[in-house]
Structure 1
Amino acid sequence: MSSSQLLLRFSLILLSVYGADGFENFVASRCVFNSTELPDIELIESYYYNKLEFIRFNSTVGRFVGYTPLGMMNADRWNNGEELPIRKGQVESYCQHNIKNWYNNILGKTAKPYMTLSSVSPPGGKHTAMLMCSVYDFYPKQISVTWLRDGHPITSEVTSTDELEDGDWYYQIHSHLEYTPRSGERISCMVEHPSLQTPMVKDWDASLPESDRNKIAIGASGLVLGLVLCLAGFIYYKKKSRGRILVPNH
């Protein structure tokens, strides 16, 4: 997973002080990172008064910066005092320490996807068929969905959605392939994800869609049940007929 694929941020401190007259002063510290290495970690500490940020420390900038007269006065004082080396040291002692815990206990966790392959109605065009490969319930977000024809990647006539949030930390994605069926070919959908040791590949069975096969199975079961009930009724009728006594008419 490349550093450009993962950019995370979390707040480590949030201190709020409320005055009796309703004014608010607070400090928010956060770490922005894409790995556990120090060069990839940034500490940002912002000071606010009544929703106005008046001073900030940014470890990438390497000093405090003031945005108001009061902020500039304190920035100059802190940059030339003990506050600056303390903040610089917190990039390692504060951010990196917590980030390693996140990677070990949270960010390293994965959820394997499951996939379905189905036939959908193609839009008006030169192709006569369209397949949809749907992948559900995977985590983290990064995933690769590839179409294959006889084991070789297909790059044209493919459209895919972005990774869609389910709202429960899981994701889903859908990819469509427009194609003209050829005799003897094998169309497959391949999924690659950090949770999988090997790619997940599903071949398309063009014989009958699963929904149609289910309908046929249900219909056949109903037919057999109807025949059994008719046969049972016929046997019961024959038995009752044999035991009936006929009285001649005078």
Structure 2
Amino acid sequence: MTGSWITLLLLLGTTDGFLNGRIARCVFNSTRPEDIQYIDSYFYNKLELMRFDSNVGKYVGYTEFGVNQAKRANNNPAILENERLAKDRVCVHNIQIWNTGILSKSVEPYAVIHTASSGGSERVLVCSVYGFFPKHLTVTWTNNQQQISTGVSNSETMPDQDWTYQRHSHLEYTPRSGDQISCVVEHISLKEPLILDYEGGLSDGDRNKVAIGASGLVLGLVLSLAGFIYYRHKSRGLILVPTH
């Protein structure tokens, strides 16, 4: 589990239309204190001037003004100690509550496999996964239960308006006899992986090619049969004249 929780948003005021702001947040990948990072950032006109980072243990400046302010804050033991204690006060104290009440909630994904247009002989398979929460999700492709490592590309995980996410994985694939292509989806909400098998149905272009080929074959057989019948009919009416 990886999370980032904004714990405080405090607007300090404006100066000639420019906004001053301060954002404190907790970044974590578990509820253990050593896996929690507290960051307290100061902004002016959307530009971060300086921040306190619990992993660093002091203020760091990002502009000339921010560097000077960070130096002053680091030389003030009371300010520095207050920020160092904020990790326990703000993050460690609350993360278990957030994890139980919010982050542990999950929504199962649903997925579909479809084909996309390709300029060459290869077929592009797309595994589209929708409606899942939280964000982290893994999509892999297998052939006869063996993971495919080439020809695979994945989109970014994209948010939807209902707070769920979607993701799309592409596989460039050349159909061969005996293949069993599957899309495997893994997510925290699933007790076991979601596996979708590609049925190997022909695309519209392939269907057209097969239909044209079959039509040509049938037409050729009909013409051959007609020629044979005509030849047999003519040969029966032919009178042979012996020559000496």
Q: What TM-score results when the alignment is normalised by the length of structure 1?
A: 0.64
* C-alpha deviation, 1:17, in angstroms: 4.9
* C-alpha deviation, 1:50, in angstroms: 8.2
* C-alpha deviation, 1:55, in angstroms: 6.9
Question: Which aligned pairs between 1:177-192 and structure 2 lie closer than 5 A?
Answer: 177-192=171-186
Determine the structure 2 residue equivalent to 1:101: 97
For the structure 1 residues 72 and 179, does the alpha-carbon distance in structure 2 shift closer, same or farther, using more than 3 Å as the test? Answer: closer
Given the alignment of the two structures, is residue 154 of structure 1 paired with residue 148 of structure 2, yes or no? yes
Structure 1 unaligned spans of 5+:
210-250
Cα-Cα RMSD: 3.4
- In 2, Cα distance between the equivalents of 1:64 and 1:88? 10
- In 2, Cα distance between the equivalents of 1:39 and 1:60? 9
1:140 aligned to which of 121, 124, 134: 134
- Matched residue of 2:97: which SS? helix
The one-letter code sitting in structure 1 at the alignment partner of 2:131 is D
CA contact (8 A) 1:28 1:45 kept: yes
Given the alignment of the two structures, is residue 174 of structure 1 paired with residue 168 of structure 2, yes or no? yes
Given the alignment of the two structures, is residue 92 of structure 1 paired with residue 88 of structure 2, yes or no? yes
CA contact (8 A) 1:33 1:42 kept: yes
- Matched residue of 2:95: which SS? helix
CA contact (8 A) 2:59 2:70 kept: no
Given the alignment of the two structures, is residue 13 of structure 1 paired with residue 8 of structure 2, yes or no? yes
2:120 aligned to which of 114, 119, 124: 124
Given the alignment of the two structures, is residue 33 of structure 1 paired with residue 28 of structure 2, yes or no? yes
CA contact (8 A) 2:12 2:22 kept: no
Identity %: 42
CA contact (8 A) 1:55 1:72 kept: no
- Matched residue of 1:85: which SS? helix
- In 2, Cα distance between the equivalents of 1:207 and 1:49? 58
More displaced 10-residue stretch of structure 1: 177-186 or 16-25: 16-25
Q: What TM-score results when the alignment is normalised by the length of structure 2?
A: 0.65
The one-letter code sitting in structure 2 at the alignment partner of 1:160 is N
- Matched residue of 2:27: which SS? strand
In the alignment of these two chains, the number of paired residues is: 199
The one-letter code sitting in structure 2 at the alignment partner of 1:112 is E
- In 1, Cα distance between the equivalents of 2:88 and 2:184? 41
- Matched residue of 1:97: which SS? helix
- In 2, Cα distance between the equivalents of 1:119 and 1:182? 16
Structure 2 unaligned spans of 5+:
204-244
